Amino acid sequence: MIFSDPDKQIQYTLRHTCAVADPQFLREMSVMLGPSILPGNAVEALRNGAEIFPAMLAAIRSARVSITFETYIYWSGEIGREFAAALSERARAGVQVHVLIDWVGSAKMDAALIEGMEQAGVKVVRYRPLSWYNIGRMNNRTHRKLLVVDGELGFTGGVGIADPWEGHAQDAEHWRDMHFRLRGPCVAQMQAAFNDNWIKTTGVVLNGEKYFPQLEPAGDRSAHLFVASPAGGSESMHIMYLMVIAAAEESIDLQAAYFVPDRLAVEALVAARKRGVRVRITVPGEHIDSTVVRIASKAKWGELLLAGVEIHEYVPTMFHNKMLIVDKGMVSVGSTNFDLRSFRLNDEANLNVYDAGFAREMTQVFEADLERTRAYTYDAWKNRPLREKFLERVVLPIKSQL
């Protein structure tokens, strides 16, 4: 099967050759595109800000030697002040604290927060601020969400440091999201991912036992941290998603905060349906922070719905989860959205976990979220308002910038 992308005039030949449980699939995922899959990890899912923020803040406050923290969204507000205070307190206590915040994602951050952290000894860098000499790279942002404490404890997922993520998705003002706590050998890969952008931004290499201690097994789950950036092969995350979809034999469960599939992704999902794979996709409903993305997304749904892909819109609030579960054996979670911005323009990081027990847990999460959705039908798509259809034609040419 050949998946072609006319925008780039290249072709990827991705055939279904083995399942995700096949040792051959694990070998290929471990060496072709990403770092090695490592055994011995403990991975814990955290739901919504009510669980996520206390866990992250407790980890920061427990730091003895180092904290590295990279995020896209950091806004002023209650939770922003709380994180700044915790990071500052540790820096004053002598912990080496490094914070990398995206320049665009932190546009709503009060300068006083940064100044306060710097005065406390926190090393704060904003990723790719706009200047005349780098305007061509303005669109390349770090979208990664990484927190590593003492080189031993890591967090990643979809949460930004802003008040909409607080609470437990109890109303339209509080978003639904997931984050993941990690212990074990894979934490070193998370630290290396932070180091990659810290070096690119500052020229400083963070090494030694403060950042890369000896890590013993902490659990029984195999995982690796899969990273991508325009500077280091932006197509790797795109191809990884396509490879995982092409491996599916029974089920694909996808949660996508921003679902704007390109031709490659549509063909891969339709091909999976032709193999008899059940495909379920959960996306935001009317509560979405980008109406333009919602318009661009729906333009591609017709072909998917006709093929039998099940699309569900989350009703109560903004749905920011990013999770892919395949054949109840492999789970990919992290910062990556299912769109060309994430696949080609952003620096992204996903934690891929190859463990049936974790996949079962995340399938339960998926199905619990499904109970709060509304199914979207082909008839609804076909009869959508003419205004929507017109706007889709306007938006689609710029879909990679959304």
pLDDT of res. 253: 98
Distance CA 390, CA 58 (A): 49
Q: Which of 185, 193, 103, 81 is nearest to 146 (CA)?
A: 193
Total residue length of the chain: 402
Q: Tens digits of per-residue pLDDT, 105-126?
A: 999 999 999 999 999 999 999 9
Q: Does 9 have pLDDT greater than 60?
A: no
Structure confidence at residue 140 as a pLDDT band (50, 70, 90): confident
Query: pLDDT band for position 234 (50/70/90)?
Result: low
Is 5 one of the annotated active-site residues of the chain? no
Quote the pTM value.
Answer: 0.93
Helix (H, G, I), strand (E, B) or coil at 153: strand
The dihedral sign for the CA sequence 354, 355, 360, 365: negative
Tell me, yes or no, if 145 is annotated catalytic. yes
327 is catalytic: yes
One of 98, 102, 143, 339 is an active-site residue; which one?
Answer: 143
Neighbours of 62 (CB within 10 A): 12
pLDDT number for residue 319 = 97
Q: What is the pLDDT of residue 32?
A: 82
Q: Which residue has the higher pLDDT, 233 or 334?
A: 334
Per-residue pLDDT tens digits for 293-314: 777 788 889 999 999 999 999 9
Question: Distance between the two ends of the chain, CA-based, in angstroms?
Answer: 29
Active-site residue among 300, 322, 328, 399? 322
pLDDT at residue 51, as a whole number: 98
Contact assessment for residue 369 and residue 168, using Cβ atoms and an 8 Å cutoff: no
DSSP line for 343-357: IIISBEEEEEEE-HH
Q: In the annotation, is 143 catalytic?
A: yes
Catalytic one of 102, 177, 262, 327: 327
C-alpha angle 180/349/199, rounded to 5°? 120
Q: If you search the block for the tokens 């938006």, which residue do you land on?
A: 395
What's the rounded mean pLDDT across residues 278-300? Answer: 88
Choosing from 102, 150, 177, 347, which is the catalytic residue? 150
Residues 30-74 have pLDDT tens digits of 988 779 999 999 999 999 999 999 999 999 999 999 999 999 999
Active site residue 174: no
Other CB atoms within 10 A of residue 268 CB:
24
Which of 61-65, 159-163, 387-391 has the weakest average pLDDT? 387-391
DSSP state, residue 399: G
Note if 171 is an active site residue. no
- Res. 402: pLDDT tops 90: no
The rounded distance, in Å, linking the Cα atoms of 87 and 331 is 31
Residue 280: strand pairing partners: 253, 310
Contact 122/88 with Cβ under 8 angstroms?
A: yes
- Active-site pick, 320, 339, 369, 399: 320
Average pLDDT, the chain: 91
